[in-house]
Amino acid sequence: MLNAEKLKDYFRMFRGLSMTDLKNIYHLVSVRTMKPGDIFIRAGCERKHIAYIRKGLIRSFLINDKGDEITTMLRWEDQFVASHDNVVWNRPSRFDFEALEPTELIQMDYDKLQQVLRSNPAYEQVRKHFLLKVIGESLERVESFILLNPEERYLKLIEQKPEIVNRVQDKYIAHILGITPVSLSRIRRRIAESRK
Amino acid sequence: MLNAEKLKDYFRMFRGLSMTDLKNIYHLVSVRTMKPGDIFIRAGCERKHIAYIRKGLIRSFLINDKGDEITTMLRWEDQFVASHDNVVWNRPSRFDFEALEPTELIQMDYDKLQQVLRSNPAYEQVRKHFLLKVIGESLERVESFILLNPEERYLKLIEQKPEIVNRVQDKYIAHILGITPVSLSRIRRRIAESRK
DNA sequence: TGCCCCAGTTAACAAAAGTTAATTTCGATT
DNA sequence: AATCGAAATTAACTTTTGTTAACTGGGGCA
């Protein structure tokens, strides 16, 4: 069951808003229940969707020239997910967004959300904190590619997000780290042997 | 010379604001002229600065465990530059921000800027567009690490930002691409030979 | 229970990148 | 014009990764 009171828990970042503010958003949302393999946003989609992940896990991926699926991003509960092709660049999504687990999304039309956010300046602080956090996370990921080698990136990931590493297939972890599944397997063996 | 009229040109993204809005910001800014090698933000700095680059080029770098300087980011004219350690994570900057050319910054105290931005909702659309653009650029960089190999990343860079590649030393370009200067040199040779 | 499928591991080889050091190139400076 | 110094290139060698394919080990399903 979903009501404005519950929503307040889900949208942690939305604290500081009045119940009326929250209800304005509440009117925009729909809950979507997904099975593993279901698609939230399909490549080519131009409509702007944004969703809060109440439960579960979403990956974005595309098919490269060689025909292989490459996973570029993982998002999980208490995070927002959207195609930045749609929302930032205003173009069709290059990625599919697929649920990897039974997943519950709280889904909104992005443009309608913008209208509500514009209606009350109180929303803007929330938006600011949200966008800054996304920037921080993304820059941190860039830094890890520049400052760390693949093995170090993997060690950092299992240190910082051990639950996520255990929840998804290794091949997705490998792609996220910018390496091949074969190479990740070798890295795991190297680590295991060095700890013997 | 710097006045509110000129400022309107510089802050392209600030179009849509009234002259009064712009003057409020104008009161916050100071112009800083830098020589190559001058530091805008020093590692360890906790004060939040943000600057618009009117002219020139800034790199952020740190010293890794082995004692080598690693360049993580380049910013140039018509872009903003700030330490995300300060602004996003509220912690001391891990990076130095150094001018690589004669550079002119229009510098602001970040917190004071926030106060002004909060004072008028009209600013918020500007901030939103600005933050979204930063997100888009950062995510694009992440994607390039996942979807492209070093050679492809280099080719993409010289295609998209040829001026920048020619303005800075190769070793900085190499770091930005996540490889060593030696490896970049080999990649350049491979490309040159394949075009013979 | 047996079979199949697929993820993960391992193997073998080629290609690329890291590392260190020598060499060259080029611009700045005296 | 000669010299110095830093950046870039090249070389030699090691390590790692990519690639392709074979092998292994469960989990799911008939």
Q: How confident is the model at residue A196 (pLDDT cuts 50, 70, 90)?
A: low
Per the structure, the residue whose CA is closest to nucleotide C17 at C1' is B183
How far is the C-alpha of B175 from the C-alpha of B154, rounded, in Å? 11
User: Which positions in strand D are less than 7 Å from the protein's CB atoms?
Assistant: 7-12, 16-21
Q: Do A72 and B133 touch (CB under 8 A)?
A: no
Nearest 5 degrees, angle CA B114-CA B115-CA B120? 95
When pLDDT is averaged across residues B24-45 and rounded to a whole number, the result is 93
| A55 beta partners | A104
Q: What is the pLDDT of residue B1?
A: 46
Q: Do A135 and B175 touch (CB under 8 A)?
A: no
Q: How confident is the model at residue B9 (pLDDT cuts 50, 70, 90)?
A: low
Q: Is it the case that residue B161 has pLDDT exceeding 50? A: yes
Q: What is the pLDDT of residue A125?
A: 85
CB-facing half-sphere around the CA of B95: CA atoms within 13 A? 24
Q: What is the pLDDT of residue A19?
A: 81
Neighbour-count burial for A89-127, b at 16+ CB within 10 Å, e otherwise: beeebbbbbbbbeebbbbbbebeebbeebeeeeebbebb
Q: Is it the case that residue A1 has pLDDT exceeding 50? A: no
Out of A86-90, A143-147, B23-27, B189-193, least confident range: B23-27
How far is the C-alpha of B116 from the C-alpha of A48, rounded, in Å? 31
When pLDDT is averaged across residues A135-156 and rounded to a whole number, the result is 97
How far is the C-alpha of B2 from the C-alpha of A189, rounded, in Å? 61
Q: Alpha carbon of A146 to those of A72, A114, A142, A172: distances in Å?
A: 17, 35, 7, 20
Strand ranges inside A83-156, DSSP E: 96-99, 103-109
Instruction: Search chain B and give the residue with CA nearest A68.
Output: B147
* Of residues B123, B139, B136, the one with CA closest to residue B25: B123
Query: What SS3 class is residue A62?
Result: strand
Q: How far is the CA of B135 from the C1' of C18 (A)?
A: 31
**DSSP 8-class letter at B122:** H
Three-state SS across B46-104?
A: CCCEEEEEEECEEEEEEECCCCCEEEEEEEECCCEEECHHHHCCCCCCCCEEEECCCEE
Whether CB of A88 is under 7 Å from strand D: the answer is: no
Q: Do B135 and A70 touch (CB under 8 A)?
A: no
Q: Which residues lie below 8 Å from residue B153, measured CB to CB, with a gap of 6+?
A: B144, B145, B177, B178
Q: What is the pLDDT of residue A23?
A: 83
**From the candidates B93, B147, B183, which should be mutated to test the interface with A, based on the most A CB atoms within 10 A?**
B147
How far is the C-alpha of A94 from the C-alpha of A43, rounded, in Å? 5
**DSSP 8-class letter at B14:** G
**From the candidates A142, A172, A179, which should be mutated to test the interface with B, based on the most B CB atoms within 10 A?**
A142
What is the token pair recorded at B50? 């943000």
Q: Do B142 and A138 touch (CB under 8 A)?
A: yes
Mean pLDDT of chain B: 90
How far is the C-alpha of A34 from the C-alpha of A142, rounded, in Å? 30
Condensed to tens digits (0 to 9), the pLDDT of residues B76-102 reads 988 999 999 999 999 999 999 999 999
Instruction: Kindly report the length of chain A.
Output: 196
Q: Is it the case that residue B121 has pLDDT exceeding 90? A: no
Mean pLDDT of chain A: 90
How far is the C-alpha of A132 from the C-alpha of B87, rounded, in Å? 8
How far is the C-alpha of A11 from the C-alpha of A23, rounded, in Å? 12
Q: What domains does chain B contain, in order, with CATH numbers?
A: 4-120 (2.60.120.10)
pTM of the model: 0.91
Q: Are B108 and B49 in contact (CB under 8 A)?
A: yes
Out of A16-20, A57-61, A142-146, B37-41, least confident range: A16-20
